[in-house]
Chains A and B, each alone.
Chain A
Amino acid sequence: MDLQTLTFLIVGITFAVYIGIAFWARASSTDEFYVAGGDIHPVANGMATAADWMSAASFISMAGLIAFFGYGGSVFLMGWTGGYVLLALLLAPYLRKHGSFTVPGFISDRYYSKTARVVAVACLIIASVTYVIGQMKGIGVAFSRFLEVDYDQGLMIGMVIVFIYAVMGGMKGITYTQIAQYVIMIIAYTIPAIFISFMLTGNPIPQIGLGGTMEDGTFLLDKLDQIMGELGFKEYTTNKRLSLLNMFFYTLSLMIGTAGLPHVIMRFFTVPSVKAARSSAGWALVFIAVLYTTAPAVAAMARLNLVATIDQPGKENNLAYADRPSWFRNWEKTGLLKFEDKNNDGLIQYTGRGDNEMVKVDRDIMVLANPEIANLPNWVIALVAAGGLAAALSTAAGLLLAISSSISRDLLKGVFRPDISEKEELLASRIAMAVSIIVAGYFGFNPPDFAAGTVALAFGLAASSIFPALMMGIFSSTMNKEGAISGMLAGIGVTLLYVFQHKGIMFIQSTSYLGGMEPNWFFGIEPNAFGAIGAIVNFGVAYLVSKRYADIPLGVKDMITRIRQP
């Protein structure tokens, strides 16, 4: 059976399973649609949270970015796991104790203000839509490769499928579906890693293989450093992302963004108790860590295999363009891989210098191309495709649910139309889903960064707005509504200004302003890492403003005491 047929078959079977489960557990009332009745076991909830969490950014994009950043890519690994510590220690137990359905629900109760709710909803929507743009990039890459069309067509097909998928099921469907998706994803991610680790180092455990030796007795990472050096790339294990200061803030931004994103926090409303909220976060991280500790091995080994295939160290000549393998041809069709024979010798030079002829190697193709580059059997390649699509679709669905519930529940029912009927609420949430997909898809045609980079921007926006408001809401018994609202606005405002100044207004490159400024002018910190600065501004402004206004009402003080109790 050829690769494309096999891919269709495996993707088809896995999707039939997800859709079957979604139908079987289809949501009937609105409460179930949102939080599935609140009776989900911590391990099951952890697994579903992990599936929800590990998006196209984690599955398709992250290892590719690490493969090219080397040590600098560690910001994603630490940032997207360390946030769970903050979530488990600082937020989840208290939000569960309070028992609100949504993040803006908590903010509006704690800050006794509808304005606070509206501001929180706006921040969440901005962050979540940016996040979905990142997913759309991943979905576009995956669909374009497996349907063998160009990226734009792949994205269009992906949008339609995401829409059908998200509108069909509520959280109940999604919780069970996501457990199935987690299983598929983790199998799809680890199997090629195990194969490749075994082939290169003789050790099937990728986490150990990465620190192991190759056939000639040298350590794999040393070999990689050496080859990178010879080809004019930066040394893999020490290559920093701009600077250590930038890496510090990048990691911080991703961590506190993790603890501020609604679709993850919402998961902790569905566990039976405060105790379960704490351990759920732990279980989620266990399931996430399986992928996240494998990713560095995937990254380093993919990079090694890529240069070994093209530059062929040890042989006299580089790979001839005419002899390029089928994965090379297939990815060329998507427009995400480009070769230009600068010196007309018919050979492919892939270097970190000016004579580089691989003019485009989109980072987001690395994980999907990895099993093909390593010549793994076709069923493994097809499985990776199924896993990548599951990752992108499950997170897109979780986010769309968060966006739609923000609009229908927090804005319509909570503020503008308290008398809305259940049916109208459901309709409003579905319209919101459709609009979000179209908006995100539109930006997906010209994404501001690679999938993981775009998602990092979304985390920065959540970090700068939601996390400080939640944390002060729990740990300060004096923070008032004036402080919290101005903090959120200042935090997200500063972050958006910095991001748009670099990437263009609404990510339209031609509208980037202050062009005379040096890139990353603020202490060398890049826009993707700026959420941490935004959060500091948020805390600072909130503190200063809160001093000038009245103390919080007694009822709210009681509420704070209550959520802190065992």
Chain B
Amino acid sequence: MNKHQDYWKENIFLIIKCLSIWFISSYGFSIILVDHLNVIRLGGYKLGFWFAQQGSIYTFVVLIFYYAHKMGIIDRKYRIND
């Protein structure tokens, strides 16, 4: 039973980590802080605008594969001990 609880705890920790990045890139950089980031430029893009219309989407894609990859490792770790 403990093993399952540990597995679940690791999973929850990973979810919280990923969702923090998810929140910062979309709600943080693209909405709440947009005016501050817009001072900085990325080529022809204002940085806040870039996050809102490009950057956050790339972040989401990377996040899902990162989570799937990490969960694969955690899965293996706990299956070996079973």
Q: Which residues of A contact B (CB under 8 A)?
A: 66, 71, 74, 77-78, 81-82, 84-85, 88-90, 93, 207-208, 210-213, 219-222, 237-238, 244, 247-248, 251-252, 275, 278-279, 281-282, 285-286, 289, 292-293, 296, 561, 564-566
Do most interface residues of chain A lie in helix, strand or loop, or is the interface mixed? helix
Name 22 interchain pairs, CB-CB below 8 A, sorted by A. Answer: A66-B53, A71-B49, A78-B30, A85-B22, A89-B15, A213-B44, A221-B44, A222-B44, A248-B32, A275-B72, A278-B64, A278-B71, A282-B61, A285-B61, A289-B57, A289-B61, A293-B53, A293-B57, A296-B54, A564-B7, A565-B7, A566-B79
Beta-carbon nearest neighbor of B79 in chain A: A566
Nearest-CB distance from B10 to chain A (Å)? 10
**Which of B8, B32, B35, B56 is the one whose CB lies under 8 Å from A82?**
B56
Contact A566 B64 (CB under 8 A): no
Beta-carbon nearest neighbor of B56 in chain A: A78
Contact A278 B52 (CB under 8 A): no
Q: Which residues of B contact A (CB under 8 A)?
A: 4, 7-8, 11, 15, 18-19, 22, 26-27, 30-32, 34-35, 38, 42-46, 49-50, 52-54, 56-58, 60-61, 63-65, 67-68, 71-72, 74-75, 78-79
Given A77-B53, A285-B60, A292-B57, A88–B22 Cβ distance below 8 Å? no
Contact A251 B27 (CB under 8 A): yes
Contact B52 A81 (CB under 8 A): no
Query: Which chain A residues border B4 with CB–CB below 8 Å?
Result: 561, 564-565
CA of A282 to CA of B27, assembled, Å: 20
Contact B44 A220 (CB under 8 A): yes
Of A89, A220, A238, A275, chain B has the most CB atoms within 10 Å of the CB of A89
CA of A194 to CA of B61, assembled, Å: 22
Beta-carbon nearest neighbor of A475 in chain B: B12
Query: Which chain B residues border A282 with CB–CB below 8 Å?
Result: 61, 64-65, 68
Query: Which chain B residues border A88 with CB–CB below 8 Å?
Result: 64, 67-68
Contact B45 A211 (CB under 8 A): yes
Contact B31 A244 (CB under 8 A): yes
Beta-carbon nearest neighbor of B70 in chain A: A278
Nearest-CB distance from B56 to chain A (Å)? 5
Do most interface residues of chain B lie in helix, strand or loop, or is the interface mixed? helix
CA of A82 to CA of B28, assembled, Å: 13
Contact B54 A78 (CB under 8 A): no
Contact A82 B60 (CB under 8 A): yes
Query: Which chain A residues border B68 with CB–CB below 8 Å?
Result: 88, 275, 278-279, 282
CA of A88 to CA of B71, assembled, Å: 11
Query: Which chain A residues border B67 with CB–CB below 8 Å?
Result: 88-89, 278
CA of A71 to CA of B38, assembled, Å: 11
Nearest-CB distance from A492 to chain B (Å)? 24
CA of A93 to CA of B34, assembled, Å: 33
CA of A85 to CA of B62, assembled, Å: 10
Contact B60 A221 (CB under 8 A): no
Query: Which chain A residues border B22 with CB–CB below 8 Å?
Result: 82, 85
Beta-carbon nearest neighbor of A274 in chain B: B75
CA of A248 to CA of B27, assembled, Å: 7
Contact B31 A251 (CB under 8 A): yes
Given A279-B65, A286-B61, A251–B43 Cβ distance below 8 Å? no
CA of A238 to CA of B37, assembled, Å: 11
Closest 3 pairs between A and B when the two form their complex, measured CB to CB: A219-B44, A74-B52, A282-B64
Beta-carbon nearest neighbor of A71 in chain B: B49
Given contacts A89-B64, A566-B7, 15 further A-B contacts (CB under 8 A): A85-B18, A85-B19, A89-B18, A89-B19, A212-B43, A238-B38, A247-B31, A251-B26, A278-B67, A278-B68, A282-B61, A282-B64, A293-B53, A561-B4, A566-B79
Contact B58 A293 (CB under 8 A): yes
Nearest-CB distance from A214 to chain B (Å)? 9
Contact B49 A78 (CB under 8 A): no
Beta-carbon nearest neighbor of A279 in chain B: B68
CA of A88 to CA of B8, assembled, Å: 16
CA of A221 to CA of B48, assembled, Å: 13
Nearest-CB distance from A546 to chain B (Å)? 20
Query: Which chain A residues border B43 with CB–CB below 8 Å?
Result: 208, 211-212, 219
Beta-carbon nearest neighbor of A87 in chain B: B64
CA of A304 to CA of B60, assembled, Å: 29
Nearest-CB distance from B55 to chain A (Å)? 10
CA of A219 to CA of B11, assembled, Å: 45
Beta-carbon nearest neighbor of A252 in chain B: B27
Contact A244 B58 (CB under 8 A): no
CA of A213 to CA of B41, assembled, Å: 14
Contact A566 B27 (CB under 8 A): no
Of A238, A278, A286, A564, chain B has the most CB atoms within 10 Å of the CB of A278
Query: Which chain B residues border A285 with CB–CB below 8 Å?
Result: 60-61, 64
Nearest-CB distance from A282 to chain B (Å)? 4
Of A74, A93, A213, A221, chain B has the most CB atoms within 10 Å of the CB of A74
CA of A384 to CA of B27, assembled, Å: 33
Contact B64 A81 (CB under 8 A): no
Beta-carbon nearest neighbor of A285 in chain B: B61
Of A220, A251, A252, chain B has the most CB atoms within 10 Å of the CB of A251
**Which of B34, B71, B78 is the one whose CB lies under 8 Å from A244?**
B34
Query: Which chain A residues border B78 with CB–CB below 8 Å?
Result: 566
Given A77-B57, A296-B54, A566–B49 Cβ distance below 8 Å? no
Nearest-CB distance from B25 to chain A (Å)? 9
Contact A85 B46 (CB under 8 A): no
CA of A82 to CA of B75, assembled, Å: 25
Query: Which chain B residues border A222 with CB–CB below 8 Å?
Result: 44
Given A85-B18, A566-B75, A78–B44 Cβ distance below 8 Å? no
